[in-house]
A and B are shown apart, each in its own frame.
Chain A
């Protein structure tokens, strides 16, 4: 196995031409997934490109109403940055442990494509987009197109994430709820992000996203759209209907962390409870 440590982003992209490589930023998923006997090297099954020291990708910049998050910006940097959306900050405060947050990245979370990744859930709700570079092209795709299934992305060999673009919008209401096996340092059994913006008493923007209940994060723009233009009171009156509208998309599994029945019930409770809070 080759371990490649490029000095520049350009050099990294050149290496990526050679085929399928692990791209390692913080390593908080890859190192665990490929762990080996203590005191022996990590057991990667593919050549690995270590991008962690590419300082040119370690940035968070605001440009008008858009936040540009470089691929190597850690969760810790995001949590401290003044322009990071509050919904993402709420999520980061409960994500993994302080040590992991120092090195883990949003880009890595996207690349790992776990349906239980809390950071990715927030990106779905905030209409984030992913900028991918290869040695000779660049493209930008919405987050829901970037992730295609558990551990699967739409990235081509040769591509890597340069940055994530998050539109900065104001919401009148926001709720992030992580349901893990314990209060801190746990992988989500279910996670939820709800956000809403009002024009007076009328809902002008409603966003609901659920994590760990399907192969990818669940966000249904068509359902959200149906309820825009209603007053909060009308919306609350229809909370049961909204709950039922999401039911077909909540298709969790039984695993070592929880049961499908529990995840389903809690995911739908979270939606209903959020609607009632508006």
Chain B
């Protein structure tokens, strides 16, 4: 029997339990004798803790703080600057200082309100001044390229905060199971949580168990922050010795958890006498917030995208993470790339305009081709079909005709196009040296196969696609392959659920494990198949100099956005989005289309136009979902998506990364459309009605 194409969609295996409400999320868990934990937070952006005055605590109610930590008072990530509970100083408004824990929620809330903390306020730092991480790379001879330039053009671009706005706020339920700290929560990275708790509790490997509950959205927001809440909860469990539920309210989640980094990017191009870009200089500044967390890695991914889908021979890129007394910023779908791609896409366009060239021709002339060198001197080894993709995008959107028609300023209409790439998997040699992913398949005597990996389904579909993939390789019906929620007691560390690596890397290993299992299949026997990540031999990456192949593969995309701007209210009607993606091969077409719609909602509509978050003296102004505006169904434009097959030899069935790709190119596409509609150069995203008004009136 001929097999069906793997891309053909099946019903998502968890749709029914999610739609019916049957799925038990963290907040649905109720345990006997369960206690509740509530954070007491810093009301000031920076200060020394002088004294903590506690109310008198009734029997059964306790306060948990830094003195209760048995191990390191550090949330174990990359840097050691983020305390589990601050001891002497607070660094942002909303920073959790201590926990009040007890059996009755009302009483816990009352006691938490009654905690009085005296501070000595210190001068807070804001803005792009206090650099804590400085990265650099170059390619070719950028100095010479600028010295010999016929002319140079430079611009600066900015993007704002963005909140992940997942439906389900951060949370865990924890309990001690025969002395084992057992944490069930809404997370992306079970082993990040486990490793952080091990360090803080000074515990042995088997003393900590982390289980993923169904996750109501994450988008990067549950990559590093849960390591903080989990370590706090473990410290509380040790003291209280009762099950504890610890879930953030929406406003706590919004003021205290990681956001997308606000950015400032300065770009400078050196042009030769034929208006070709012979050199590019970029400086990428990210506002890291109070603690570094993953900011250095976010900066690095941003910087690596500096040349986006263009080949430029001489490149100089510098970047800084600035520490400020604001909410710590961190992982968010795209991870630094949306900020950079906004800058470079706007810049390419602005350079073309500056030299009086047609923007489309100008881009095409600089477009990357297979065999070209990447921004860091690696090689684009695999076929690139960007030509075909942009032609498709033009054709379905009628781009050229509309672009011409909307040049008439009276139309107040515009059409914009962005081209973009996204590096799949961890940056540099991260997969090989840090993650060392392992996956396992376990076959029972009855032939049931279980997928044992730490990858999390947070809505993006691996519960369905992994089963589909493994069942397909094994020629088994889907029902015979199971994928239970990851539990670190049983699953090996297959790495975090991030960086668009889940299908390409973890799925790739699973496909190989499944092939091994198939070849060694023995009826009636219990069998296991393991696979471990091995970097392809040709990949070479020098982390210190940021040179070589930053990613094993790239996904590609084109977005076209059409808008109409109101002359009266400056509101934008985003009429249509057309997209073409090369993600290797879709493992399930409908799931990929779901990612496309979601990515465009967050990228085109959210980060590009609608979502505004600002702080005033360190206090976020938009701290609930009434004031922080995310798109509704009514705000979504019509979308048309095309997925082009371009299989990647090392991905399962050719699959590359999907999740982030669908977001990263959105903001410049909508910004360029608005730019045309209003006849002004846009240098900031989101392009809000307030900003549009300012541009129209002040140029």
Residues of A participating in the B interface, judged by any CB pair closer than 8 Å: 32, 36-41, 177, 179, 181-187, 190, 255-259, 261-262, 265-266, 269-270, 273
Contacts and interface: CB of A to CB of B under 8 A. Distances in A.
A256, A261, A262, most chain B CB atoms within 10 A: A256
B569 A266 contact: yes
B569 A177 contact: yes
Given A257-B627, A270-B568, A183 B105 contact: no
Interface in B552-573: 567-571
Interface stretch (B52-60, B127-135, B388-396, B630-638): B630-638
A256 B611 CA distance: 12
Contacts, number: 67
Interface residues on B, range: 20 to 34
Given A256-B622, A262-B690, A182 B109 contact: no
Contacts of B626: 32, 187
Contacts of A181: 610, 612, 629
Contact of B634 (A36, A37, A39, A183): A183
- Tell me what chain A mostly uses at the interface: helix, strand, loop, or mixed: loop
Interface of B: 27, 38, 105-106, 109, 247, 249, 567-571, 610, 612, 621-622, 626-627, 629-635, 689-690, 693-694, 697
Contact of A40 (B106, B621, B627, B631): B106
27 contacts: A32-B626, A37-B38, A37-B105, A37-B249, A39-B105, A41-B106, A179-B571, A181-B612, A181-B629, A182-B610, A182-B634, A182-B635, A183-B635, A184-B632, A184-B634, A184-B635, A190-B569, A256-B621, A256-B622, A256-B627, A257-B627, A258-B690, A261-B690, A266-B569, A266-B570, A266-B689, A270-B569
A190 B629 CA distance: 16
Nearest to B630: A182
B136 to A, nearest CB: 38
Contacts of A190: 569
Contacts of A41: 106
B163 to A, nearest CB: 13
B568 A266 contact: yes
Contacts of B27: 38
B475 to A, nearest CB: 47
B109 A40 contact: yes
A39 B106 CA distance: 9
B635 A262 contact: no
A265 B626 CA distance: 24
Given A179-B571, A256-B621, A266-B569, A37 B109 contact: yes
B634 A262 contact: no
A73 to B, nearest CB: 25
A179 B629 contact: no
A101 to B, nearest CB: 15
Nearest to B629: A181
Nearest to B633: A184
A40 B106 CA distance: 6
Return the 6 tightest CB-CB contacts between A and B, nearest first: A181-B629, A256-B621, A184-B634, A183-B634, A262-B690, A273-B568
A60 to B, nearest CB: 27
B632 A185 contact: yes
A39 B171 CA distance: 15
Contacts of A257: 627
Contact of A259 (B38, B247, B631, B690): B690
Contact of A265 (B109, B247, B693): B693
A201 to B, nearest CB: 25
Contacts of A269: 567-569
Nearest to A265: B693
A52 to B, nearest CB: 22
Contacts of B612: 181
Nearest to B613: A256
Contacts of A187: 626
Nearest to B626: A187
B631, B634, B690, most chain A CB atoms within 10 A: B690
Contact of A262 (B109, B249, B689): B689
A39, A183, A184, A187, most chain B CB atoms within 10 A: A183
Contacts of A265: 693, 697
Nearest to B112: A37
Nearest to A41: B106
Given A40-B109, A262-B689, A262-B690, A186 B629 contact: yes
A244 to B, nearest CB: 17
Given A265-B693, A273-B568, 6 more contacts: A37-B106, A184-B633, A256-B621, A262-B690, A266-B568, A270-B568
A181 B634 CA distance: 12
Nearest to B622: A256
A27 to B, nearest CB: 15
Contact of B249 (A38, A184, A270, A273): A38
Contacts of B38: 37
A64 B697 CA distance: 49
A256 B255 CA distance: 14
A182 B601 CA distance: 13
Nearest to B245: A39
A146 B27 CA distance: 43
Contacts of A37: 38, 105-106, 109, 249
A179 B569 contact: yes
A37 B568 CA distance: 42
Contacts of A262: 570, 689-690, 693
